[in-house]
Amino acid sequence: MSPEIALLNNYLIVGAILFGLGLIGFMSRRNMIVMFLAAEMMLQGVSLSLVAWSRFRNDFGGQMLVIFIIAVAACEAAIALGLVTTLFQRSGRLDIADWHALREANQPAFVDEPISEETSTEEPLPTLARAGVAPQVPPVKTDYRPNV
Amino acid sequence: MHDPHIILILTTLLGAVGLWLMLPRGTHRGRSVGIILTAVALGAGASQLPYLGDWLTESIFGVLAAVTVVSAAATIAFRNPVYCAIWFGLTLLGTAGLFLFAGAQFLAVATIVVYAGAILVTFLFVLMLAQPEGKAAYDRVSWEALLSAVLGMVFVGVLSMAIVGVFTAPREAKERPVAPPAAKELAENVLVPQHVAALGTELFGKHLIAVEVAGALLLAALVGAAVIVAQGKMEEKNERNAQQKRD
């Protein structure tokens, strides 16, 4: 195999892997934002293959297609994020399963199975025995988020 | 065992099981096993790739491809969507490097500027606005993780077998062989030093109408996104007004 053919072969395989991983992510994840990241990943896989073909055929056509893919991806991201923010304002969650009312008419309703709470693996901090009079502390209003 | 097809099939199955174990399933059990299995599958698959001619090309391509694929797997496997977005940024950097390595300099820069600079930051903005505190339950479970991992990896395996088969299959004499481009021809066309000038000539010469259409599409998407978001806001306002009237 000549080096140019080997390069094309390797690029196409990396592109296929990116597309496949994006496919898995889009099908299995439930967070809407992660689903859109996976869709973008599929676009990246296709772009990679197109650039490799562009080099192999010695033609700018493949790179042109990738430029238009980037433009369409920008449009898609704008619309998708508008939709995600609107859906989030309605349900308060990024879960795609909240919208299972949009399913096909003959499909059964989605029932979320309960999962166990996340158990912390950290050692509990040492505590002191309570002593003395309890001080009067005004309640602190926490309107910040402790974590994201 | 030296039949490449058997190795490819085994790699695919190994990768499917590894990815299934890595995907969020509600438990932490088996995650490290999944990471090991996926890494083994990745290594076995990489060992089947043809040699690129010299060690420098081979090692640069290897590093870029490994960064791209590993961070792509991490993007879909992490539970926290912020980490997913950051790993996706690394995937974008890897693909940009691969673009640069294939001679598409403008596309490499455009990928970083448009994707990593704009789209990814917007994603992170929405995450910061929308993500409730802590890890949500829906981030810790998947739809049918095993089924989608097997389906995706079978897709990858079939595609790679087809790709490898095209380049290694014995050809009939009358078929035109796939001719690799000569270095001199490449240097005059795709790998020309004045890359952006050549690309711009092509884009605004041959594809001028497509550029105009893409501009119209971008405008339509902009207006559409504004309308979608504004409509949600309007409905909220109307509901609030109706409630105030009732009170």
B243 lies in some domain = no
Q: Mind telling me how many Å the CA of B247 is from chain A's nearest CA?
A: 22
Residues from chain A contacting residue B123 (CB–CB below 8 Å): 33, 36-37, 77, 81
- What total number of domains does chain B contain? 1
B195 lies in some domain = no
Please give the pLDDT value at position A118: 63
Cα dist. A101→A104, A107, B130 in Å?
A: 9, 10, 22
Residues spanned by the domain of B105: 4-183
**Could you tell me the pLDDT band of residue B132, with boundaries at 50, 70 and 90?**
low
Q: Mind telling me how many Å the CA of A143 is from chain B's nearest CA?
A: 12
Chain B residue whose CA is closest to A10: B49
B232 lies in some domain = no
B216 lies in some domain = no
- Using left for φ > 0, alpha for ψ between -120 and 50, and beta otherwise, residue B26 falls in left
Tokens of A93: 């969650």
Taking the C-alpha atoms of residue A4 and residue B182, their distance in angstroms, rounded to an integer, is 9
Q: Mind telling me how many Å the CA of A98 is from chain B's nearest CA?
A: 10
Q: What is the dihedral of CA B74, B76, B77, B79, to 10 degrees?
A: 110
Q: Does residue B2 have a pLDDT over 70?
A: no
Q: What percentage of chain A has pLDDT greater than the value 70?
A: 88
Based on DSSP, count helices (H) and strands (E) in chain A, helices before strands.
Answer: 3, 0
Domain boundaries of chain A, sorted by first residue: 3-102
Please give the pLDDT value at position B120: 85
For chain A, say whether B145 makes contact (Cβ under 8 Å).
Answer: yes
The CATH number linked to B59 is: 1.20.120.1200
Task: Report which DSSP code applies to B33.
Answer: H
**Could you tell me the pLDDT band of residue B40, with boundaries at 50, 70 and 90?**
very high
Question: Which of B88, B114, B232 comes nearest A89 by C-beta?
Answer: B232
Mean pLDDT calculated for residue range B34-63: 90
Taking the C-alpha atoms of residue A104 and residue A96, their distance in angstroms, rounded to an integer, is 15
Give per-residue pLDDT as tens, A68-87.
999 999 999 999 988 888 88
Residues from chain B contacting residue A50 (CB–CB below 8 Å): none
pTM of the model: 0.85
Q: Which residue has the higher pLDDT, B247 or A51?
A: A51
Q: Supply the CATH classification number for the domain A3-102.
A: 1.10.287.3510
Please give the pLDDT value at position B15: 92
Give the best-scoring range by mean pLDDT among A128-142, B86-100, B122-136.
Answer: B86-100
Give per-residue pLDDT as tens, B77-101.
988 888 899 999 999 999 999 999 9
B205 lies in some domain = no
B64 lies in some domain = yes
Give per-residue pLDDT as tens, B175-230.
655 677 777 777 778 888 888 999 999 999 999 999 999 999 999 999 999 998 88
Question: Which of A44, A51, A68 comes nearest B91 by C-beta?
Answer: A44
B211 lies in some domain = no
ipTM confidence score = 0.88
Contact A82, B229 (CB under 8 A): yes
**CA-atom Rg of chain B in angstroms:** 24
Please give the pLDDT value at position B1: 47
For chain A, say whether B7 makes contact (Cβ under 8 Å).
Answer: no
